[in-house]
Chains A and B, each alone.
Chain A
Amino acid sequence: MGSVLSTRARVWWAVITVVVLVGALFPVLSILMTSFKGPSEINSGTFLPPQWSTDNYEQILATGGSAQELFLSALRNSVGISLIATVIAVVLATLAAYAIARLNFPGKRLILTTALGVSIFPVVSIVTPLFNLWRNIGLYDTWPGLIIPYLSLTLPISIWTLAAFFRQIPWELEQAAQVDGATPWQAFRKVIVPLAAPGVFTTALIAFFIAWNDFIYGISLTSTSAARPVPAALAFFTGASYFEEPTGAISAAAVVVTIPVVILVVLFQRQIVSGLTQGAVKG
């Protein structure tokens, strides 16, 4: 490909690439650098920390750090709630998507349009009524109280993605399995599941990210560290004194929260891309 472009074109491409990369990654790197700056150097105005210090990390992770309890409990909440929401969403979505891809039942279009409608509905408008409802039935500030709304975020996209995956699997495979002597459950387990495993995995990743990144539900439906997830917890960080912004601690927390996501994405980028584009072109 490189041999086809003229030198001038190549130079332009290089320039554009650098500009885009810097534009996209600079804020991230800036936060990374900030997290290594000591409390007095936050506003030093330089990109690199004048002196690399792990004060901020200690603050949020090490015992005795002022924000440690807040951060670690938030981390625990986030991981637990997101994982549970993901597992439930994937299991339900797999069964729903299989039915949608294979069968023609009354109400099928209704389910699909409802799923689409739910996923584009503005979250902010349901938060207040949900807050009231949760307080009345006792789900406020609990893990289930967050898992249930997270399902509304993750289920629609999971169903759509998995339905696209299942449609890719030719129906003849299950029919051949049935003729070979399998019950519908055996056909599903032995033929469909292995073939859909990449799709299920990708869907799980996407669902996990959606649950992990949520802020509105996290901040509105919780009040203590019993259920507050990380994005919401970051808003409650306090600095050493009333006048000091906890920028350093927040940066460190942001880095800690982002790293697993980045690692997962880099490791499984091919699956994620294929999952999102699956069914876009008839394969």
Chain B
Amino acid sequence: MASITLKNIVKKYGDGFPAVKGVSIDIADGEFVILVGPSGCGKSTLLRMIVGLEDITSGDLLIDGQRVNEKAPRDRDLAMVFQNYALYPHLTVGENIAFPLRLTKGKFSDAEIREKVEYAADLLELREHLDRKPANLSGGQRQRVAMGRAIVRDAKAFLFDEPLSNLDAKLRGQMRTEIARLQRRLATTTVYVTHDQTEAMTLGDRVAVLRKGELQQLASPRALYEQPVNLFVAGFIGSPPMNFLPGQVSGSSMELPFGTFELPDRLVEAVGDRELVIVGLRPEHFEDARLVDPTKKDRGRTFDAQIDVTEWLGAELYAYVPFEMHASVAAKLEELDRELDGEGLRTQFVVALDSASRVRDGDTTELWFDPDKMMIFDPETGENLTHDQDEVDRLDRENEEDRRASLERAQAQSEGRTGGRSEGQARQSA
């Protein structure tokens, strides 16, 4: 178990291309931090620099307070799970898991090695497969073998490089919970790289959103969702993604593509002198006006919308409403769309309605939304003008307390191995 600290890490390739531009992240002992971002943002490069497979151009990498920039991967005592598992095809599952232990010649006796391998196999339900070769296993089993090889060493930290991207959707969901359970039980510092924001939201204690080699925001999933720091983070987190609409402000009223509304004071302050802003509204903050709870109806505003296409998913109903995009913000939003791997086809906003709603394709219907939930973004810089740092701090504090509590619960529940687990518990409450 160890803390990992990245101080201003920079990575420049031989041709001068900057893959990582000054990233600083503090990872506490036992924390599960996720590095997320679209392809090409530098998250895998960052992970490989932490483990030692890439050189760090400048900056400091500290593990447990010690600078390890020059150390070889094998001296850093980290365990890594690769995207395509990297299992040794000529060894059985048992031998694969035992491989790191056998490298430390003589440190463990054969009996100890077998015991450790069996413990890891039990944790991951691989006991029946110990004598099989990796070629005969399914994707999920291979992934578990790779994780077994990582956990058997009692390493200082686990590093995962997009481990679930090669699995099908259902298996991904199952393995996600396996990883979460495992991490809680072992309380080992974990750094996890993914491009999938669902994994980021569900697995991480804290999430670092990266874009083109720069850290956008490092906060708890809740803080990222409720208080994104800029347009990119707001558009990246949340599924379906946040809607961005052009808003023209005059005084205290805002003209949106579907109507003009009075702005709450807090938002008027945020807008300041600007005449044109980008407004962010999540699909879940809209409702079918007919189905809105009467007690809260007054808090929001209603408007008529021409529905283009609907998608009924059983639990929810997504309705797509096309609108006219303002020319000046069109360029900025198109750029954002491209970065988020979007196709940028037509301008429409999505609303998530109750599945009991009778709204269908082509309907004109009355929708309700709460203007207080709007986020205002500067059209030039993309900065979130309604970002409340105090709220972020509060959410992060809450998150940290929840994390410690659940770790302690998990520690108390697990049948401890002598030494290893009670150490972890002691370290946790320290």
Contacts and interface: CB of A to CB of B under 8 A. Distances in A.
Given A191-B88, A195-B89, A180 B99 contact: yes
A178 B73 contact: yes
B104 interface: yes
Given A178-B73, A179-B53, A180-B153, A170 B84 contact: yes
B84 A179 contact: no
A170 B84 CA distance: 10
Given A194-B90, A195-B89, A180 B74 contact: yes
A179 B88 contact: no
B99 A178 contact: no
A62 interface: no
A106 to B, nearest CB: 12
Interface stretch (B75-83, B236-244, B414-422): B75-83
Nearest to A172: B86
B105 to A, nearest CB: 10
A178 B103 contact: no
Contacts of A258: none
Contacts of A180: 74, 79, 99-100, 103, 149, 153
Contact of B74 (A172, A173, A181): A181
A182 B86 contact: no
Contact of A182 (B52, B79, B82, B103): B103
Contacts of B99: 177, 180, 190
Contacts of B79: 179-180
B164 to A, nearest CB: 16
Interface string B386-430: 000000000000000000000000000000000000000000000
Nearest to B89: A195
B72 interface: yes
Interface in B80-123: 80, 82, 84, 86, 88-90, 99-100, 103-104
Interface in A156-182: 170, 172-173, 175-182
A178 B86 contact: no
Contacts of B104: 181
Q: Which of B78, B82, B86, B89 has the most CB of A within 10 A?
A: B86
B35 interface: no
B73 A179 contact: yes
B103 A181 contact: yes
B81 to A, nearest CB: 9
A172 B163 CA distance: 14
B129 to A, nearest CB: 19
Contacts of B80: 176, 179
A7 B78 CA distance: 66
Q: Interface size for chain B: under 10, 10 to 19, 20 to 34, or 35 or more residues?
A: 20 to 34
Which interface class (under 10, 10 to 19, 20 to 34, 35 or more) fits A?
10 to 19
A246 B386 CA distance: 103
Nearest to B161: A172
A181 B88 contact: no
B84 A182 contact: no
A54 interface: no
A192 B153 CA distance: 22
A183 B105 CA distance: 12
Given A179-B74, A179-B79, A181-B74, A195 B90 contact: yes
B210 interface: no
**Residue from A177, A178, A179 whose CB has the most chain B CB atoms within 10 Å:** A179
Nearest to B159: A179
Given A186-B103, A195-B89, A178 B72 contact: yes
B149 A175 contact: no
A183 B74 CA distance: 7
Contacts of A173: 86, 88
Contacts of A183: 74
Contacts of A190: 99, 103
A78 B152 CA distance: 53
B88 A178 contact: no
Contact of B82 (A172, A186, A191, A195): A172
A27 to B, nearest CB: 43
A173 B90 CA distance: 11
Contacts of A175: 53, 73, 82, 86
B51 interface: yes
Nearest to A193: B90
Contacts of B78: 179
Nearest to B102: A190
Contacts of A194: 90
A176 B82 contact: yes
A183 B80 CA distance: 16
B133 to A, nearest CB: 13
Interface string B113-154: 000000000000000000000000000000000000100010
B103 A176 contact: no
B258 to A, nearest CB: 51
A108 to B, nearest CB: 15
B203 to A, nearest CB: 21
Contacts of B72: 178
Nearest to B104: A181
A172 B84 contact: yes
A180 B74 CA distance: 6
Contacts of B73: 175, 178-179
A181 B99 CA distance: 9
Nearest to A173: B86
A205 B90 CA distance: 22
Nearest to A194: B90
Interface of A: 170, 172-173, 175-183, 186, 190-191, 194-195
26 contacts: A170-B84, A172-B82, A172-B84, A173-B86, A175-B82, A176-B80, A176-B82, A176-B149, A177-B99, A178-B74, A179-B51, A179-B73, A179-B79, A179-B80, A180-B100, A180-B103, A180-B149, A181-B74, A181-B103, A181-B104, A181-B153, A182-B74, A186-B103, A190-B99, A190-B103, A194-B90
Interface of B: 51-53, 72-74, 78-80, 82, 84, 86, 88-90, 99-100, 103-104, 149, 153
User: Which 8 pairs show the lowest CB-CB distances between chains A and B?
Assistant: A172-B86, A176-B86, A180-B100, A181-B74, A194-B90, A179-B80, A178-B73, A181-B103
Given A181-B104, A195-B90, 5 more contacts: A173-B88, A175-B53, A178-B52, A190-B99, A190-B103
